[in-house]
Amino acid sequence: MIVLDHVAKTFVTRGGEQVAAISDVSLEVRRNEFVCLVGASGCGKSTLLRLVAGLVAPTGGRVSIGGATVTEPRDDTGIVFQAPTLLPWASILDNVLFPLDMMRKLDASGRARARDLLALVGLSGFESKYPRELSGGMQQRAGICRALVHDPDILLMDEPFGALDALTREELTIELMRIWQERPKTILFVTHSIPEAVLLADRVVVMSARPGRVAEIIDVELPRPRDFDMEARSEFQDATRRTRELIFGGRSARAN
Ligand SMILES: Nc1ncnc2c1ncn2[C@@H]1O[C@H](COP(=O)(O)OP(=O)(O)OP(=O)(O)O)[C@@H](O)[C@H]1O
Ligand SMILES: [Mg+2]
């Protein structure tokens, strides 16, 4: 479904300095697969997502979806950004409806779906508010609704739960798995949380430090549907331990 073939991205800063964010990433994400991406801060996870989203162009290699090279944002893709990116002058409902509006597919069923999604993330009653009237976590939840409103085949999520409290985070994790199992999608999900990655993913892609490469891909053998009780299982612990080893590279991550 999503294929990255020897993809590289080097940024040139305003001072003319070259920053290699990603070098030589090859990865295939299968249709309806749930893939999580983990790695140290600055290793190029957001850059990788933006490449797949068609928001930036690679400086080497090729990104394709269903065989077609990605050159611009696609209608069948939804993206949740790391920081909330709502339009300040539009209401929460209009923000969620924005993708449908852009595609000229805004109708009554779209509006109903937007309201349902807002209810799902606990934002009923906030439809006519403006982003500045909501907390950061609430804005992030509205951003998740916006990414889902057109029921995209591909969902790109950049630390979507990062700004949320632990309880909301658990609730939305379960909800996202439910949405994904009801209406299968191909999901590429970036997170800083190793347990979250292992609980959600079919495969966890561990990236090495900048410039990012794929260090290893870990298959998660846990059955579905999943829940937080599975964190006690050996499959869960094996996968989280291996991920930690790769990220911390033999160095102990223990406090003592
Ligand atoms: N537009 C840009 N111009 C210049 N450098 C950039 C740009 N975007 C990203 N970078 C650089 O590319 C590298 C990777 O950034 P990226 O945001 O992809 O990392 P990340 O893995 O998402 O980090 P984090 O976990 O902190 O979100 C960083 O060194 C960053 O400074
Ligand atoms: Mg990032």
Q: Which atom of ligand 1 is nearest to the CA of 192?
A: 25
Task: Out of 7, 46, 50, give the residue to mutate to test ligand 1, the one with the largest number of ligand atoms within 8 Å of its CB.
Answer: 46
- Give the residue carrying structure tokens 């309806």: 32
For residue 208, what is the DSSP state?
P
Q: Which residues, in sequence order, are CB contacts of 19 under 8 Å at separation 6+?
A: 10, 11, 12, 13
* pLDDT 10s digits, 135-161: 988 999 999 999 999 999 999 999 999
Distance CA 149, CA 146 (A): 5
The environment of the single-atom ion ligand 2, i.e. residues with CB closer than 5 A, is 46, 82
**Strand 154-158 versus strand 60-65 pairing type:** unpaired
210: CA distance to ligand 2 center in Å? Answer: 12
Model confidence pLDDT, tens digit, residues 161-204? 988 889 989 988 998 998 999 889 999 999 999 999 999 999 99
Nearest CA to ligand 1 atom 8: 47
pLDDT in tens, 228-244: 999 999 999 999 999 99
Lowest-confidence range among 22-31, 109-118, 162-171, 246-255? 246-255
Output the pTM of the full model.
0.94
- The protein residue whose alpha carbon is closest to atom 30 in ligand 1 is 42
Q: How confident is the model at residue 256 (pLDDT cuts 50, 70, 90)?
A: very low
CA–CA separation, 11 vs 66, rounded Å?
27
Average pLDDT, the chain: 93
Could you report the per-residue pLDDT of 24-60, keeping only the tens digit for each?
Answer: 999 999 999 999 999 999 999 999 999 999 999 999 9
* Strand pairing category for 203-207 and 214-219: antiparallel
Upstream peptide bond of 195 is cis (omega within 30 degrees of 0): no
Q: Which residues contact 38 (CB under 8 A, 6 or more apart)?
A: 45, 190, 191, 192, 194, 197, 204, 205, 206, 207, 243, 247
Instruction: Quote the pLDDT of residue 162.
Output: 87
Percent of residues in the chain assigned helix, strand, coil, to nearest 5: 35, 25, 40
